[in-house]
Amino acid sequence: MQTTTTTPPREAADRIRPLRVPLAAGVLVLLIACALSLMVGSNGTASPGQVVQALTGHADPQLTAAVQSLRLPRTVLALLIGAGLAVAGALIQGVTRNPIVEPSIIGVNAGAALAVALVTYTLGATAFRLGGISLMPFVAFAGAAAAAGLVFVIVAGVDMTPGRVALAGVTVALLANALVMSVVVLNDNAVQFLLRYLVGGVDGASWAGVRTLLPYSIIGLGCAFLLAKSVTVLSLGDDIARGLGLPVERVRLQALALVVVLAGAAVAVAGPIAMVGLLVPHMARWSVGTSYLRVFGFSIVYGGALLVTADVVSRIVVPSTEVPVGVLTAVLGTPYFIYLARRGRGVV
């Protein structure tokens, strides 16, 4: 007589419980960071009660305007950008099986910067406004997409291996960065404007920027979850993936297209913010393993928490001024990048 066994409820709960701790910790840090982001401003710090009153329109008019028109959109924008860059980083690390790459590896950052620099050089900084609409996000996104497209053209017709994609991306990025520096040198009038954009930050956030980024974030993150199982299989290696019937080249192309959508939109709105796409996927994999369905979910929480926290720190680390958040994330990520590079294959 055959008997069947079922997993006892307690054992099933024990398997779920390890996920609850890192998720709860990430959500808690995110909530605290968002609260602090609404409280801390360049002109002082408000209490939690004052922030609640400002959000409901019952506080001092000046504080109400600061919270509703400046700090709240800045918080939302930092959350969206952190989530998008983190998931983009997880995607590109998964499909290239390279744990020390981030979205800039396919030229997204450099392409966006070059497009902004060229328009500034030829038409001036005022060309980015058409009536009351800022055209910079659209120009930067077009540049990011063009750079990634050039990478795909370079590797077209050959096996799209992780090494070829990475080499083509580095080549395009180096060329674009060289052209950007040339534009900065040749156009003295636009130096301050370009440097402010190139360093990356959310200090100029507005609801218009949130509205620009939100559709790309929703579409990109939603499609990433739909592709999660395929990315998990692809991260095991091309031969294994093909053996399981996965269309490797098509999945890799779809994933890289999503990287352009998520990272390109973020760079378009806030400038190139480095290292978020490198750091957060590692944190997520250490927390939940290599299932990219879980990695993407945790990357959204961790990425949002990281960038909102970095933005809060950027407002207070130097008195009476703000350090661009792109500088802070680069300072934070560089030692970790060196650590990963020294560990080599042991990082995953």
pTM (predicted TM-score): 0.87
Q: What pLDDT is stored for residue 16 in this prediction?
A: 47
Does the pLDDT at position 7 exceed 50?
Answer: no
Name which of 97, 258, 123, 106 is nearest 183 in CA terms: 123
Could you tell me the two tokens for 54? 């400002």
Q: What pLDDT is stored for residue 4 in this prediction?
A: 44
Mention every residue, 6+ apart, whose C-beta is less than 8 A from residue 139.
Answer: 115, 116, 119, 128, 268
pLDDT in tens, 234-246: 988 888 889 989 9
C-alpha span between 26 and 33 (Å, rounded)? 10
Place of tokens 């080599």: 344
Least confident window among 4-8, 80-84, 98-102, 265-269:
4-8
Give the total residue count for the chain.
Answer: 348
Q: Which residues of 279-311 are buried (b: 16+ CB within 10 A; e: fewer)?
A: bbbbbbbebbeeebebbbbbbbbbbbbbbbbbb
Task: Please name the CATH architecture into which domain 37-347 falls.
Answer: Orthogonal Bundle (1.10)
Number of H helices, E strands in the chain: 15, 4
Q: Place 15 in a pLDDT band, splitting at 50, 70 and 90.
A: very low
Domain ranges, ordered by start, for the chain? 37-347
DSSP code string of 20-64: HHHHHHHHHHHHHHHHHHHHEETTEE--HHHHHHHHTT-S-HHHH
Q: What pLDDT is stored for residue 126 in this prediction?
A: 65
